[in-house]
């Protein structure tokens, strides 16, 4: 339906432009020439007695009248009285025999032609204005909201549920987008519940392993003592087998600890060459509260996975908004063969003791009480940057927490 609509609009535009071009370039009627007028008068006077056989040898139209009688006309539709001729601004001349000749004024035709051209041009301009206004309206009310939803969907698909979908209540799709943000919120709650369940599972495994290791250690100790005190080889072999089984059970318990850490290793990272100018859009997309001034990014080729890099900056900005909720300062520069992007808030930072723990799994600062989170954002971001041969540096700046993302340049890997 959309294609047909635009096809009709374009067809109307083409027809109107063709009409303007046709009338505008078409040669108008030639103005009356005095010599030609004299030729008409002389030829009519010469043939006056035999006007039925008179031949018009010029390009002028005229009528010959005598009082109220029409003696000759070149064509129908011409002025046939003095009053009509005066109204039409025709040329009225006297003939030698007392009759009059009315030479048609064709300037009125040019006037109406120009009027038609002006009307078509005005209609064309009006339609073009309506089309532009409608296109702007569609862009603001339909295309842009769906573009935002596209980026939102990519974030959700990538597992980032912290950034809300920016909504406009006056938008045609306001309720529609609100439903999507409710879905994000519910998914986030489910993700937090899952993280808590995983943490509980980890705690349960730790408790069980401790409870299991205690009797195992006792069994092993008694078995070693029995081995030392055994008088026969058969008894020593039995105690040795018990010790080996105890060690086997201990190894299985230790494996339970590392099993939960293997889950995040399933996230794949596929870096490739990309333009650094794309970082501007990534940073703008991550800054969903618009509290940062995005700087000009030095032009170069970088080595990164764009969706994963978007997740890294999404996590950094989301953490800043959750825990500091201040303005954000962003800087970018080329240094030591890498492109650095420095992000610093004004929240005062964290304690020196907590700083090294922020990029570890399930670790959160002391300022996180009452704030949703699982302690995975910077852990995942650090792993992504390592996979992209880059680096994530976390430190306290002059005003708050400062995180610098170092992105490798293409050709330096």
355 and 287, same structural domain? yes
42 and 75, same structural domain? yes
At which of 79, 105, 131 does a domain end?
A: 105
Q: Measured between alpha carbons, how far is 155 from 184 in angstroms, rounded to an integer?
A: 10
Is residue 387 one of the residues assigned to a domain? yes
pLDDT band, residue 273 (cuts 50/70/90): very high
What is the mean predicted confidence (pLDDT) over 384-397? 92
Cα atoms in the 13 Å half-sphere on the side-chain side of 250: 14
CATH code for the domain in which residue 246 is found: 1.10.287
Out of 75-89, 294-308, 372-386, least confident range? 372-386
What is the mean predicted confidence (pLDDT) over 128-146? 76
276 and 388, same structural domain? yes
Type and span of the H or E element at 408: strand 401-408
At which of 197, 232, 265 does a domain end?
A: 265
Is residue 140 one of the residues assigned to a domain? no
pLDDT for 97 beyond 70: yes
Is residue 295 one of the residues assigned to a domain? yes
243 and 321, same structural domain? no
Which pLDDT belongs to residue 323?
Answer: 86
87 and 63, same structural domain? yes
Contact 241, 226 (CB under 8 A): no
Is residue 194 one of the residues assigned to a domain? yes
365 and 329, same structural domain? yes
pTM of the model: 0.45
3-class SS letters over 263-325: HHHHCCCCCEEEECCHHHHHHHHHCCCCCECCCCCCCCEEEECHHHHHHHHHHHHHHHHHHCC
Please give the distance of CA 300 from its chain centroid, rounded to a whole number: 23
User: How many separate domains does the chain show?
Assistant: 3
280 and 261, same structural domain? no
Is residue 143 one of the residues assigned to a domain? no
Contact 105, 120 (CB under 8 A): no
pLDDT band, residue 20 (cuts 50/70/90): low
pLDDT for 111 beyond 70: no
> What are the CA-CA distances from residue 289 to residues 129, 177, 189, 325, 375 (Å)?
35, 17, 21, 10, 22
- Eight-class DSSP state of 63: E
Is residue 98 one of the residues assigned to a domain? yes
At which of 265, 283, 299 does a domain end?
A: 265
Is residue 18 one of the residues assigned to a domain? no
pLDDT band, residue 406 (cuts 50/70/90): very high
261 and 276, same structural domain? no
295 and 259, same structural domain? no
Closest Cα to residue 32, out of 103, 138, 130, 86?
Answer: 103
| Structural domain range at position 293 | 272-408
Contact 327, 173 (CB under 8 A): no
Q: Measured between alpha carbons, how far is 271 from 111 in angstroms, rounded to an integer?
A: 70
CATH code for the domain in which residue 381 is found: 3.30.565.10
276 and 261, same structural domain? no
Is residue 126 one of the residues assigned to a domain? no
302 and 237, same structural domain? no
Closest Cα to residue 226, out of 237, 215, 212?
Answer: 237
Phi, psi of 372 (to 5 degrees): -60, 145
365 and 309, same structural domain? yes
Give the model confidence (pLDDT) of 180-228 as tens digits. Answer: 677 777 777 777 777 777 766 665 665 556 556 657 766 877 788 888 8
């Amino acid at each position: 339906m959309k294609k047909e609509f635009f096809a009709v609009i374009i067809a109307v535009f083409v027809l109107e432009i063709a009409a303007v071009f046709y009338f505008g370039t078409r040669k108008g009627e030639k103005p009356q020439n005095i010599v030609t007028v004299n030729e008409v008068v002389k030829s009519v006077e010469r043939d006056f007695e035999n006007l039925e056989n008179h031949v018009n040898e010029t390009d002028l139209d005229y009528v010959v009248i005598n009082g109220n009688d029409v003696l000759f006309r070149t064509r129908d539709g011409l002025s046939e009285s003095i009053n009509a001729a005066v109204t039409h601004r025709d040329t009225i001349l006297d003939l030698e025999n007392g009759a009059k000749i009315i030479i048609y004024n064709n300037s009125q035709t040019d006037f109406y032609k120009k009027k038609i051209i002006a009307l078509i041009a005005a209609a064309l301009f009006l339609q073009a204005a309506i089309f532009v206004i409608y296109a702007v309206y569609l862009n603001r009310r339909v295309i842009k909201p769906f573009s935002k939803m596209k980026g939102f969907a990519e974030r959700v698909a990538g597992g980032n549920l912290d950034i809300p979908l920016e909504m406009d209540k006056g938008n045609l799709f306001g309720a529609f987008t609100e439903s999507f943000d409710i879905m994000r919120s519910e998914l986030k709650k489910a993700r937090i519940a899952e993280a808590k369940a995983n943490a509980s599972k980890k705690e349960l495994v730790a408790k069980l392993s401790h409870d299991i290791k205690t009797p195992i250690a006792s069994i092993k100790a008694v078995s070693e003592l029995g081995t030392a005190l055994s008088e026969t080889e058969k008894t020593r072999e039995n105690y040795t087998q018990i010790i080996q089984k105890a060690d086997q059970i201990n190894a299985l318990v230790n494996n339970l600890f590392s099993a939960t850490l293997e889950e995040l290793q399933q996230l794949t990272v596929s870096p490739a060459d990309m333009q650094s100018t794309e970082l501007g859009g990534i940073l703008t997309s991550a800054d969903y509260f618009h509290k940062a001034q995005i700087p000009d990014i030095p032009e170069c080729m970088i080595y990164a996975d764009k969706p994963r890099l978007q997740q890294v900056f999404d996590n950094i900005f989301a953490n800043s908004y959750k825990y500091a909720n201040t303005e954000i300062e962003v800087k970018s520069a080329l240094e030591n063969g890498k492109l650095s992007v420095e992000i610093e808030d004004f929240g005062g930072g964290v304690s020196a003791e907590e700083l090294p723990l922020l990029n570890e799994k399930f670790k959160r600062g002391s300022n996180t009480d009452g704030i949703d989170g699982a302690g995975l954002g910077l852990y995942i971001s650090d792993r992504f940057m390592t996979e992209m041969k880059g680096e994530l540096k976390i430190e306290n700046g002059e005003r708050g927490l400062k995180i610098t993302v170092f992105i490798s340049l293409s050709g330096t890997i």
